[in-house]
Structure formats: structure tokens, C-alpha cells
Structure 1
Amino acid sequence: MRALRRGLLVLLVLAVLFVGADRLAVKLAEDEAAERIKGADGVSSSTDASVDIKGFPFLTQIAGRELEQIDAELKGMKAGPGDALTVSRVDARLKNVRIGSDYSSAVAETATGSAFVSYKELTKAAHEGVRVSYGGKDKNGKGRVKVSAGITLLGQTFERSVTSTVSVSKGDIVELHADEVPGDGIPGLEGAIRQRIDFARKIAGLPPGLELERVQATKKGIELSVRGKDLELSE
């Protein structure tokens, strides 16, 4: 019995040491991955990144060169060039990540997640004098945005606030289109206002390989669903 107890004690100590080594290894890997994300092309130096590698044991996954799931979060991206929209937060889930033979590259079988753009950033990306805010929900429960702008026509200034539908196109473009613009029977007024409040902007700060899938207007900003397939991760 004494020998059995000693044997079990040795196994317990080894198990604790293995778990400790495994958790240390995964922590080092997560920190290194976060640093590489922050240093990637198209990601601003102000970006804060965190990585969470799922699955246990990590060392066994590394030995088999395939990770079950990696969750990544990016915050604090700054404005891109021109009038591009800035994403202030990206959450991504990478599944079935296959690691290359030299461990310098990897491919995620699927990638899903979400991105957030505030109304402040939407306003900054709009035409001068245009303000964007939450516009409530339509009869089907879908969120809309409110766009307000003024225009001077025939010596008179007209102010309009309208609800607009927000949509995505071409994988990285957000579009706002007014449902209706009251023209009050004044020739050219509706078209002139629509030229200011209808706009499309490209997203800046979205990690390469992820595409916009759909968008939903919320009280604080617009939530974008992102998706990717066979996403390449390399140095």
C-alpha cells in the first residue's frame, strides 16, 4: 500500500507539473500572437490585441500542428486614410487552425466574429455638417439610423432628419440610404439633400481576410458580422 501511495503521489506531482507547463506555454503563445497581430499590416500601433487559445492540452495540439479554436479581440483602432470608417472593436473566432510544418504560418478553416462602429465615427466619416445617430426600429424590429443635415437652396436653408437603412456590400463597405426625404414640393430639394445624407464608406482596421456579412443598427452604434474561410495567418 505504501508503494501504491508513493506511485500515486508521483503521478499527481507529474500531472500538476504538466498542467503548469502547458498553461505557461499557452500564455506565452497567446502573448506572442497578440504582439504579431498588433504589428500586422493595416493594424494601427494604437491597437490593443488579446488572444485566447482554446482546448487542452495545448502542447498536444501544437505537436499535432492543429489548434481547436483561437479567440482574438482588437480594440482602439484609429482612423484610416481619407474618409474610411474606423472599427473600434473586432472580436474574431478562428476554428480548426492548421499550423504549417515550419510553424511560421497557419490557416484557419473558418473565422467568424463581430465588429463595432460608433455613431461618432459614422458622423466623422459622413459629409461635413451631417450627423448620424440611432433611429429606432422599423415595423419588423430591424434597427435603423437617423441622419440629419442642412442645405441651402434658392437662398433658403432647409434642415432634414430622416431614418436610413444601413447595409453592407463588397465585403468591406457600409452604406446608408435614406428611406424617404421630404421635399415639400420644392424642385431639386430632395435630390440635393439625398446627395449629402446617402453615402458609402469603406471599413478601415478590419483584419485582412475577414469580410462583412451583415449589419445591425443598435443604440450605441452599428454591429457588423464578419466571416472568413481558409484564413491565412502568417508572419
Structure 2
Amino acid sequence: MTEEYATDQRPRRRRGRGLLIAVVVLLLLLLGGLLVVDRYGASYAEGVIGDKVAEQVAARKASSDTPEVDIKGVPFLTQVARGEYQEIQIQLPNFTGPTGTGDKIHMDLLDIRARDVKAPLDALRSGQGTVVAGTLTGTGTLDYPQLVELIGQKGLKLAEKDGKLVGSAQVAALGQQFDVSGTAKLTVVDGGIRVRFADVKAANLPDLPVIQNLVQSYVDKLSLDLPAPELPLQLKVRTLTPEPDGLKVTFGANDVNLNAGGL
């Protein structure tokens, strides 16, 4: 009797185990399908936003490599249902843009973060309507050789020291070459960049009025007033920070429509 009971139960266990495996496999297939749909939807929306940003770059008579867009947060479809997105990263490699003086600035990468983004599904699907970012922040770096070229004084060298922008050069006086150096004051004026040098010192230079006037005349030529650059997405210069590889510029804007190609 015992052997007959054991024989009757074995097939039931196998059938139960087989059903469980089938359910697990089905769930995995469904989950995989949802992930594929989620990533496809995100990729499509990123492409729409990238195209609109490229239009804005062109409208500013600027240029960059193809914009790279990354919608943060998983799952994407949950954000679509709400019409709200935590963060969208937009990178513009090899960005070059004009300024009000006809000069151009170049940044190897303009890295933009859009936060508190509100976008109805139809706007992402059709490319029409509004995709509004509550806040935009961007960062880029102006290398020091470029900054020297904008100032327009040959022989000037710029570098970061103790968190400050320091300039040095040689000045001809009394038939000799003297080394002068000073610290720059950086300010943002009407969305543009202002550079003024102060505390300029000259090594081994006689303290004579004619010599000091010569040094001051050279210092005055080191000033720079760079008007607000023509940037996409209404970005304006907010802060300036000297770093070892160049002048780090932080940009910002509020309530910007990412979907407005001609903005």
C-alpha cells in the first residue's frame, strides 16, 4: 500500500512544478517585453527632444555635434503617465557659439540638465506642443588659450592658482623685460563675462611714476568685456570659476520650452 501511494503522488508534484515554471517564464517574458517597450519609448522621446535642441542651436547661428539626450529615471512609461520627468540631460559636444561682438566661444562640451520637466504625451509623440523645464543648468569650459585670444594681448599667460585666475606677462621698460603678474576679478554683467586685473606686481621694477604708468597702461589692455553669448534654450551665464583646465562657466534659465525649435 505504501508503494502505491508514493507512485500516485509523484506525477502530481511534477505537474505542479511544471506549472510554476511556466508561470515564471511567462512573467519574465512579459517583464522583458515591458522593458523593451519602455526603452523604445524613451529612445523615441530623446530623439524628438534632440531634434528640437539642434534646431535651437542652428537658430542661434551656433554649431555642435549631434545633441545627446538622456531621459533619467526608470521606468520611463511611469513618467509618461504622469507627464512629469525628474531630469533630462542634454549634451552638446564641440559647441561653438557667437557673441555680441562677433567673436566666438568654443566649449568641448556644453552639458545641460533640465529638471522638473512637464511634457504631455502628445508633445513627445508629435514633436508639437510644450515640453517645459522648470529649471535649466549648464556647464562648459573656456580653455585659457581661447581666453587669451579673446583678451587680445600676446605674451599673456593665464592659469588657475588657489581658486583664482592669475595672469602673467613680460613688459618692456627702460630697455629691459620685466615680469608682471596679477589676479583677475571675474564678474557676470548682463549675462556676459567681465575680466579685470588688479594687484598687478612687477618683479625688480623701479617704483617710478613713469614705470608705474607703463605697467598700468598694460594692465588696462588686459580687460575683457565679452557680451552674453548666443546660447540655445535661453541659457545665460550665471557663475565663473577658474579651474586647472580653463574657466568653468555655469549657465542657467527657468521655464524653458525644450520643444520650441525656433526659440
TM-score band (shorter)? Answer: 0.7 to 0.9
Q: CA deviation at 1:98?
A: 0.5
Q: Which deviates more from structure 2 when the two are superposed, residues 225-234 or residues 78-87?
A: 78-87
Q: Which structure's residues are more often helix, by fraction?
A: 2
Q: Give TM-score, length-normalised by structure 1.
A: 0.81
Distance 1:159 1:51 in 2: 51
Q: How many aligned positions are there?
A: 229
Distance 1:70 1:14 in 2: 27
Q: Which deviates more from structure 2 when the two are superposed, residues 67-76 or residues 81-90?
A: 81-90
**Is contact 1:162–1:179 with CA below 8 Å preserved after alignment?**
no
Distance 2:146 2:38 in 1: 42
Distance 2:43 2:61 in 1: 22
Q: Which stretches in structure 1 are left out of the alignment for 5+ residues?
A: none
1:144 counterpart = 2:162: no
Q: Pick from 163, 171, 177: which aligns with 2:196?
A: 177
Q: Match for residue 206 of structure 1? A: 231
SS at match of 1:214: strand
Q: CA deviation at 1:62?
A: 2.1
Amino acid at match of 2:165: R
Q: Match for residue 72 of structure 1? A: 90
Given the superposition, is the C-alpha separation of residues 20 and 85 from structure 1 closer, same or farther in structure 2, using an over 3 Å criterion?
same
Given the superposition, is the C-alpha separation of residues 192 and 54 from structure 1 closer, same or farther in structure 2, using an over 3 Å criterion?
same
Q: CA deviation at 1:147?
A: 4.5
**Is contact 1:114–1:224 with CA below 8 Å preserved after alignment?**
yes
Q: Which structure's residues are more often strand, by fraction?
A: 1
Given the superposition, is the C-alpha separation of residues 164 and 133 from structure 1 closer, same or farther in structure 2, using an over 3 Å criterion?
same
Q: CA deviation at 1:116?
A: 0.9
Distance 1:115 1:166 in 2: 19
RMSD: 2.9
1:127 counterpart = 2:127: no
**Alpha-carbon displacement from aligned partner over 1:71-124 (angstroms, at most 9, x marks no partner):** 111221235252354333221211110115751221111222322111121122
Q: Percent identity?
A: 21
SS at match of 2:67: strand
Distance 1:101 1:52 in 2: 17
**Is contact 1:80–1:86 with CA below 8 Å preserved after alignment?**
no
Amino acid at match of 1:197: L
- Looking at CA atoms only, which structure, 1 or 2, has the larger radius of gyration? 2
Q: Match for residue 107 of structure 1? A: 132
Q: Give TM-score, length-normalised by structure 2.
A: 0.74
Given the superposition, is the C-alpha separation of residues 195 and 106 from structure 1 closer, same or farther in structure 2, using an over 3 Å criterion?
same
**Alpha-carbon displacement from aligned partner over 1:168-211 (angstroms, at most 9, x marks no partner):** 31353222211223484244324421221122213535333223
Distance 1:192 1:10 in 2: 80
Q: Match for residue 89 of structure 1? A: 109
1:42 counterpart = 2:60: yes
1:7 counterpart = 2:23: yes
